[in-house]
Chains A and B, each alone.
Chain A
Amino acid sequence: MQDAEGQPVGSPRLITQLGPWQLRSPILAASGCFGYGREYAAYLPLQRLGGIVTKGTSLKPRLGDLPPRMVETPAGMLNAIGLQNPGIETVIQAELPFLHRYGVPVIVNLYGTTPEEYAELAARLDGVEGVWGIELNISCPNVAAGGILFGQSPILARQVTEAAKRATHLPVMVKLSPNVTSIVEIARAVEDGGADLISLTNTFRGMAIDLHRRRPVLGNLSGGLSGPAIRPLALQLVWEVAGTVQIPVVGIGGIVSGDDAAAFLMAGASAVQVGTAQFIDPTACVRIADELEATMNREGFAQIADMVGAARQ
């Protein structure tokens, strides 16, 4: 399939209804793994993505964490980037116009240290061209203030969601942390707070030790685990949350193939985000979409919607 300008847009069978959005594909690029799209534009047709969730963005620029920021682990990696980003104004002026040229849905991932900051960020993006929605990062394991604190308390999670909802007309997706006792409680809280969608999961907190230097490898000491190593853990959490809330769920966690994506859809996710897989294969989002169509053929699904929750019936 091609669009009006002759650009490839993928199979019509991959068209996905995700809450308020109709997307060309159920495969979105996950926050923190795709920058603001620029780096990967040379490797794949951005317009074939279901959407791009940007790098976590704060009000002011952030330098991020002390290196080393990344260490490989079995079938996974730990990262502690510390939300390095140029700040919301630079993102709006210098980054988002680039993405807008591709017509790909852009969801801006937001990070704040207070509910008011989340509200200010959400309000600032209201009406910005090309922005389809926001994703609230209440789950970053690598920053001291804000972030995960909000994701670990149902009351705070709800407050942050409400604050953002009041501040913007844009659909609000809330990204949950797996580093909690009951993710279902948090999911209910953000749904009650008015979230339009829930995405999960962010990374699992982890650590690696450098035996020779006798200290943790990462500059931040601990980091967030991602990659295929977390896939079964994330899949189970998606199953729980999708069985609890009424709003659409976006599955994230170690997806590297079409079959992996299909598993998250069957568990109840309406779409998925692909993160770490892009570091190995910069074309991952498009390849996985093509593989997913092959999975649909093989397993006898006519459209994406038929797969959603198919394992729950």
Chain B
Amino acid sequence: MVKLVGQIIENRPIEEGTFEMIVAVPPTFSYLPGQFLHVRVADSYDPLLRRPLSIAWAASGRFGLIYRVSGRGMTMLSRKRSGESLDFLGPLGQPYPLRTDRPRAFLVGGGIGVPPLLGLAEALSEKGISVTAVIGAQTKDGLLLLDRLQPFGKLLVATDDGSVGFAGTAVQCLEERFGSGGERPQESVIYACGPLPMLRALDELAQRWRIPGYLSVEESMACGVGACLSCVVLRRGGPGESGRPQVVRTCVEGPVFASGELLWEAWEQPKWWEDTEETPT
């Protein structure tokens, strides 16, 4: 957890609107899948803040960031050239736990949530886990990294418009596979990164099938180190905490949370955030 500078080796489009940046760092650099870097996209103060980017993969002396070019900050990042330096904090946050007690893993990614699953797929397959990536997008043009995930196991693809693969969401696709009886959910773990509605549906699915699930959540973030309390979510209180929800920071206690931990209703209902004394439990 330090402020570092790496040298950009490569920064180029790998798919329509999506870039991969490869950065050279000292060989001592290491990360665990699911962790992120807080990246400075420009030397100026406009745009002001760093951008949290999940680490897609790392090898000896280098790591890869895969990001969608949308908005001014990401456009500025995409214009950085090889040879320039990249200022970042990290690796930050809690990684996905690599569960070896169950032989099968389903890695569910939606839209730009796919990149961190790449390093995760590699780490799990190295441990002998049977990996299935379930990748979803609105249309086939939005599907990311299929060719890069392929070597680590099976691949299931879902598009909302049915232009390729399963017609529906990645979560519906997984549900159907489980329902058809071919996937042995009781031996499986779910890992996911993607938009909030996807994570929420997946959380519900994981609990219904009684499968451990790990969900990487994104909230609007400023400092990245736990000081500003911007990127918070509500976690259900455990039995020892009198059932009272706790405010947790996605940058420190997250971004990965276990299925069943998060109080999704809190995104919609201000009452959950009202005074502690009156907070419903």
Which residues of chain A have a CB within 8 Å of any CB of chain B?
32-35, 38-40, 42-43, 55, 60-77, 79, 81-82, 84, 219, 227-228, 256, 276, 278-283
Q: Do A63 and B273 have beta carbons less than 8 Å apart? A: yes
Q: How many residues of B contact A (CB 8 A)?
A: 40
Chain B residues in contact with chain A, CB under 8 A? 1-3, 40, 45-50, 89, 219-234, 245, 247, 252, 266-267, 270, 272-277, 279
Nearest residue in A to B250 (C-beta to C-beta)? A67
Q: A77 contacts B223, CB within 8 Å?
A: no
Question: Do A63 and B276 form a contact, CB below 8 Å, given A70-B222, A282-B225?
Answer: yes
Closest chain B CB from A283 CB (angstroms): 7
- A79 x B232 contact (CB < 8 A): no
How near does chain B come to A275, taking the closest CB pair, in angstroms?
9
A256 proximity list for chain B (CB < 8 A) = 45
Docked Cα-Cα span, A110 to B8, in Å, equals 45
Interface centre among B2, B40, B232, B277 (most CB of A within 10 A): B232
* Distance to closest chain A CB from B237 (angstroms): 12
Taking the closest CB of chain B, its distance from the CB of A167, in whole angstroms, is 24
- Contact of A282 with B220 in the complex, beta carbons under 8 Å: no
Partner of B222, one of A60, A84, A279: A279
Residues on A with beta carbons closer than 8 Å to the beta carbon of B232: 64, 67, 69, 84
Chain A residues positioned under 8 Å from B233 (CB to CB): 67
23 contacts between A and B (CB under 8 A): A33-B223, A33-B227, A35-B226, A35-B229, A39-B226, A60-B277, A62-B276, A63-B234, A63-B245, A63-B276, A64-B247, A69-B231, A70-B222, A76-B48, A84-B232, A278-B223, A278-B227, A279-B222, A279-B224, A279-B228, A280-B49, A281-B3, A282-B3
Q: A43 contacts which chain B residues (CB < 8 A)?
A: 2-3, 225
Measured between beta carbons, the chain B residues less than 8 angstroms from A282 are 3, 89, 223, 225
Among B89, B229, B245: residue with most chain A CB under 10 A: B229
Determine the residue in chain B with the shortest Cβ distance to A277.
Answer: B45
Cβ contact within 8 Å between A34 and B270: no
Chain B residue with Cβ nearest A87 = B276
With contacts A63-B247, A67-B233, A72-B48 taken as known, whether A81 is within 8 angstroms of B228 at the C-beta atoms is yes
Chain B's nearest CB lies how many Å from the CB of A264? 17
The secondary structure that dominates the A interface is: loop
Contact of A81 among B89, B230, B252 (CB under 8 A): B230
* 19 extra A-B contacts, CB within 8 A, seeds A61-B276, A62-B275, A77-B49: A33-B223, A63-B247, A63-B272, A63-B276, A66-B266, A66-B273, A67-B231, A72-B47, A75-B46, A76-B48, A77-B222, A79-B230, A81-B230, A278-B227, A279-B224, A280-B45, A282-B3, A282-B89, A282-B223
By a CB distance below 8 angstroms, the chain A residues around B266 are: 66
List, in ascending order, chain B residues with CB within 8 A of A278's CB.
Answer: 223, 227
- How many Å lie between the Cα of A283 and that of B225 in the bound state? 12
Q: Is the CB of B50 within 8 A of A279?
A: yes
Q: A84 contacts B229, CB within 8 Å?
A: yes
Name B251's closest neighbour in chain A (CB-CB).
Answer: A39
Smallest CB separation, B1 vs chain A (Å): 6
Residue of A nearest to B47 (CB): A72
Taken together as a complex, chains A and B put the C-alpha atoms of A75 and B277 apart, in Å, by 38
Q: Which residue from A60, A71, A81 sits with its C-beta under 8 Å from B275?
A: A60
Report chain B residues within 8 Å CB of A65.
273
CB proximity of A234 to chain B, nearest CB, Å: 15
- From A32, A38, A256, A282, residue with most partner B Cβ within 10 Å: A282
- Please name the residue on chain A nearest to B266 by beta carbon: A66
**Cα-based distance from A74 to B2 in the complex (angstroms):** 27
The distance from the CB of B276 to the nearest CB of chain A, in whole angstroms, is 5
Contact residue among B221, B227, B245, B275 (Cβ-Cβ distance under 8 Å from A34): B227
Report the bound CA distance from A283 to B223 in whole Å: 12
Residues of chain B within 8 A of A63, CB atoms compared: 234, 245, 247, 272-276, 279
A39/B46 in contact, CB under 8 A: no
- In the complex with contacts A64-B247, A66-B266, A76-B48, A82-B273 CB distance below 8 A: yes
Residues of the A chain whose Cβ atoms lie less than 8 Å from the Cβ of B2: 42-43
Contacts of B47 in A (CB 8 A): 72
A67 to B273, CA, bound (A): 9
Interfacial chain A residues near B46, Cβ < 8 Å: 74-75, 228
- Min CB distance B255 to A, Å, is 14
